[in-house]
Amino acid sequence: MKSQHRLLAGMFVSLSILQAGCSSTQLGAIVEVGMIAAGQSPTQAAQAGKATASLSGAVAPMNIESEKSLGGGIAVQAYSQIGKRYEDEELQRYVNLVGRTVAANGSRPELICAFAVLNNPTPNAFAGPGGYIFITTGSLKAMKDEAELAGVLSHEVAHVALKHMLQTYRRASLVGALQQTAAAFDANAAQYKELVDAATQTLFDKGLDKGFEFEADKVGTEIAALSGYDAKGLLVFLKKLETMTDAKGGWFKTHPPLSERISKINVQLAGELSGEKGVVQSERFQTMMSAHLK
Amino acid sequence: MRLNQCSLVAAVIWLGISGTVAASPKVLYVQVPKADIREGKTTSSALVVQVDQGTRLSLVSEEGVRYLVELADGRKGYISKLSVSADKPSSGGLGGLAFKDDRDVTERRSAASGRGLSEAAKNMSKNGTTDPNAVAWVETMEKLAAKISADDVKRFRKEGGLQ
């Protein structure tokens, strides 16, 4: 009983150390040494070390290189399952410029986001780990101006910034795999594919937690406003989706009811973002779409 | 009794460290490459000054999605919470205050992270279940993102009349 309490206390303190930046493995070693110094037997100390490393793995954040590796695999699946690449360099570049404009006001400027247009008529957009962000031609066709595009991309940037996908995967019991390094992924193709398949299914079929979607709407709307765009862009797009019957396979499938989302954004616009006067920029958007979107 | 004391000590240490992390910061650092400090709480309010990443600011008060901050020269203004955090950036850049708890320390210390597809992702084309062009398309996506510079984005913003 006594040793169990010490073990618990040791792990408790160790998790605090973890917050300060140690890896799970380092933490296990620290605990093991500490337990021996405190008079525990090497066997008990080793057990405590292993238990701490395992427990801390469940709460430790994913290394950025591993996140990008996982995201790359999901991006490959996106092109395989959602739509082929839309072959127009000018349009791809334009979407990247709008995306990068808003991403600069997101919370992870150390991570350069990559944006791409998928050839799929259903309005949809999604983000994978590591800053891979996709939008379909169906979404672009439903839009009238750059503020709408910026609003949707800001929502996706917010998912990346807030690490919603990684939190979702953690909840979906993919915890152990998330602690792998990018090099370990490279060395074990079967395990990597298994993780990518599970993560892809979560993202495309089940969707993210409802709370995460509301949070991405809120933060995304603020990011768009902060970037100089009309803060109503996302709201306008969502209202449009509400009237489109062919949108049911996209955002309708994995996101909370549009009416709830619209209502929450309206509250935000009338409250903390009231008085914002960003640009809509319909001319540049329309010129680009009429020349490059078929 | 000693057992409870042991747990109590651990709890105190935990609360101490957690409390340090969660407490409202008095000093904030700019995390994005450039951030606007404005007279009012909206992006259309008059600009006080544009500050660079790493600039140290004193927190005056919290107002919705913004902080009222004071510069070293005594000037005050509002800045978005998304643009600052209590962490001093050592290199590259960091996230906003709202997201700091889930950020990897390695990531915090890393320089701006370039793009590139991992070997594991490239090898996915070998398993026969993906589109044969998918890996090449992701690589094209990566290359395009890498080609767009900060100056390109700046020019795009200016041409579009974005503040």
What's the average model confidence in pLDDT over A130-150? 97
Residue in A13, A161, A277 nearest the CB of B44? A277
Q: Return d(Cα A211, Cα B130) in angstroms, integer.
A: 31
Confidence band for A190, pLDDT divided at 50, 70 and 90: confident
Write the pLDDT tens digit of every residue in A205-259: 888 888 999 999 999 999 999 999 999 999 999 999 988 865 555 566 677 889 9
- Residue A178: pLDDT band (50, 70, 90) is low
- Closest chain A residue by Cα to residue B131: A80
Sheet containing B56-63: give its strands across. B47-52, B34-38, B76-80, B66-70, B56-63, B27-30, B84-85
Interval A97-119: pLDDT, tens: 999 999 988 767 668 899 999 99
The answer on pLDDT for A34 being more than 70 is no
pLDDT, residue B107, reads 42
Mutation pick from B43, B80, B129, B163 vs chain A, by most beta carbons of A within 10 Å, is B43
A-chain residues within 8 Å CB-CB of B125?
76
- What is the reported pLDDT for B25? 52
**Chain B interface includes A143 (CB < 8 A):** no
**pLDDT at A173 (0 to 100):** 63
pLDDT band at residue A272 using 50, 70 and 90 as cut-offs:
confident
pTM for this predicted structure: 0.74
Q: What is the per-residue pLDDT across A250-260, written as a single tens digit (0 to 9) for each?
A: 566 677 889 99
Residue A151 above 80 pLDDT? yes
A278 shares contact with chain B (CB less than 8 Å): yes
pLDDT of residue B90: 56
Q: For position B162, what pLDDT does the model report?
A: 92
pLDDT computed for residue A278 by the predictor: 93
- Which pLDDT belongs to residue B97? 31
Average pLDDT of chain A to the nearest whole number: 81
Nearest-by-CA chain B residue for A108: B95
pLDDT for the residue numbered A203: 87
Q: Give the nearest partner residue to B7 out of A8, A21, A109, using CB atoms.
A: A8
pLDDT tens-place values along chain B, 163 residues long: 454 555 554 554 454 444 444 455 589 998 877 888 999 888 878 999 999 988 999 999 988 778 999 999 999 999 988 888 888 875 433 333 333 333 333 343 343 456 778 888 888 877 778 898 999 999 999 999 999 998 999 999 999 999 7
Q: Does A132 touch chain B (CB under 8 A)?
A: yes
Nearby residues of A262 by Cβ (< 8 Å), 6 or more positions away: A235, A238, A239, A242
- Residue A264 C-beta-side C-alpha neighbours within 13 Å: 20
- What are φ and ψ of residue A274, in 5° steps? -65, 140
CB–CB contact B148 A115 (8 Å): no
Among the partner residues A9, A101, A192, nearest to B6 by beta-carbon distance: A9
Nearest CB to A163; choose among B44, B102, B127: B102
Q: What sign for the dihedral angle of Cα A231, A229, A235, B80?
A: negative
Q: Which residue of B has its CA nearest to A282?
A: B160
Lowest-pLDDT choice from A59-63, A90-94, A118-122: A59-63
CB contact under 8 A, A10 and B10: yes
A153 close to A125: Cβ distance less than 8 angstroms: yes
Block residue for tokens 């999605």: B65
Do the Cβ atoms of B125 and A100 come within 8 Å? no
Per-residue model confidence (pLDDT) at position B93: 32
Q: Rounded CA gap, B65 and B45, in Å?
A: 15
Name the residue of chain B whose CA is nearest to A284's CA: B160
